[in-house]
Amino acid sequence: MTVTEQPAAISEYRMLIGGHWVSGTDGGQLTTTNPFTGRAWAVVPEAGAADVDAAVSAARAALDGPWGRLTATERGRLLRRLGALIDERADHLARIESTDNGKLLREMSGQLHSLSGWYDYFGGLADKLEGTTPPPTKQGVFIYTRQEPVGVVGAILPWNSPLLLLTFKAAPALAAGCTLVVKPAEQTPISTLEFAKLFEEAGFPNGVFNVITGARAAGALLTSHPGVDKVAFTGSVESGVTVMQSAAQHIARVTLELGGKSANVVFDDADVKSAINGIVAGIFAATGQTCIAGSRLLVSRSLYEPVIAGVVERASRIRLGNPLDTATEMGPCSSREQLERVAGFVDRAVAAGATVAHGGRRPDLAASTGGFFYEPTVLTGVTNDMEIAQEEVFGPVLAAIPFDTEDEAVRIANDTRFGLGAGVWTRDVKRAHRVAHAIKAGSVWVNCYRLLTYNVPFGGFKMSGIGRENGIDAIRDYCETKAVWINLSDDERDPFVMG
């Protein structure tokens, strides 16, 4: 099926606060642009301090009121109902997200149809949050622990996969009994607002899920708000540092999923055809706009030329075009700013000595559509100390580096401030495990790349973040552990002796 039509009129959206759709109290608005056409297609309010305060207050009221009075089983039932509604509306939400951020409809459809799995999984865990009964070390007391919600969660989203990365936060937070105030990226707020409509339909009490929109200032107001108990953030390292500093002012917990400069490591015994397919998937899928992009290609010197030739040949056949057309293989960058950032990285890499083996420019399609397109680009002649090998580009740019030994490959892979993901391509099972263990990254894929699911932890080492999303333990990050001591003895204790 091919879908090519674009929205004709600019849509106006409001924020969701305490179950009500509201305009910003300051009267400001932000425009969101369709990356394929370069034209505005929707406007949203710009939240001010009063709006953020109202959203946090609404979340607190729900936490202390109707949401907090539900049993864990009832929470789980609502989560599963929400998942069913997402399945019903997945195609609509996918189209909205593709229009807003320029990613392929075929990818967004897959993501949106998978999201119900997260709500089913964490909905099932909601009433499995059990405490413990530690054996007392002294006579006359009974001790037990409780898992209680951490409270109001401020969730800050990126622009590349808003609803997937929102779900990483919302599903475990809601299962734990928390309430949320969500601030989507200023470039891509619309899918989150559309998603928010499902909460009332699913039966959630007002105020459990709130959405404020705006630029960085709105996010700063949220992360610094004393009523926010935890901040869950996905974005750049630089923004993550700012978020952490802001949250620290009122000792709010943080989960940070930040950048990456992931290495795809191809050894001399790899299945070359499969490796090339994985390399292309790792860097050109999603136009390279993913934190786990395999943006560094490390190849055994004996395979370097055939692997580069194969990647270049496949890159030359990637079909650029309308992201709503299911035949398109790569869409535009998400914004003009991001396009200029990508082009700047390539220009500086060439000036530093890299060679463009393919791409390295805006295609003719960009001029004809007005879209923010950049060609899939392969750079050779790269050394790992270059900016292009050290900094996150967040675009369709692959930096290729040869290596001679396994130890050298691991050293180069680890020679970065990031540690989010890595790929290892080899037929040797011993080497696969050795290298997977040696690479300092939160996820290592062997003979595959860019796989995620709800029951596997996801997060990074080093400056790629703090904490883990997904997996059974993610729900604990949205809980506080309380110890309760019950005195069973009638004996009078010495008030001046502890214990």
Q: Nearest Cα to 99, choosing from 24, 34, 25, 180?
A: 34
Q: Nearest Cα to 341, choosing from 287, 300, 416, 411?
A: 287
Task: Exactly one of 257, 375, 392, 469 is catalytic; name it.
Answer: 257
Dist. CA 364–CA 356, nearest whole Å? 18
Look at strands 253-257 and 465-466 and give their pairing.
antiparallel
- 333 catalytic per annotation: no
Dist. CA 149–CA 79, nearest whole Å? 16
Dist. CA 209–CA 85, nearest whole Å? 16
Beta partners for residue 115, in sequence order: none
- 178 catalytic per annotation: no
Q: Nearest Cα to 290, choosing from 470, 102, 436, 31?
A: 102
Give phi and psi for 159, each to the nearest 5. -95, -10
**Spatial CB neighbours of 268, under 8 Å, sequence gap ≥ 6:** 300, 302, 303
Q: Are 370 and 6 in contact (CB under 8 A)?
A: no
Q: Are 215 and 189 in contact (CB under 8 A)?
A: no
Instruction: Tell me how crowded residue 361 is: count the other CB atoms within 10 A of its CB.
Output: 13
Looking at residue 293, its amino acid is A
Task: Exactly one of 46, 97, 186, 291 is catalytic; name it.
Answer: 291
Dist. CA 114–CA 329, nearest whole Å? 20
**C-alpha distances out from residue 432 to 116, 145, 400, 438, Å:** 33, 41, 21, 10
**C-alpha distances out from residue 480 to 42, 245, 302, 454, Å:** 40, 22, 53, 22
Residues taking part in catalysis:
257, 291
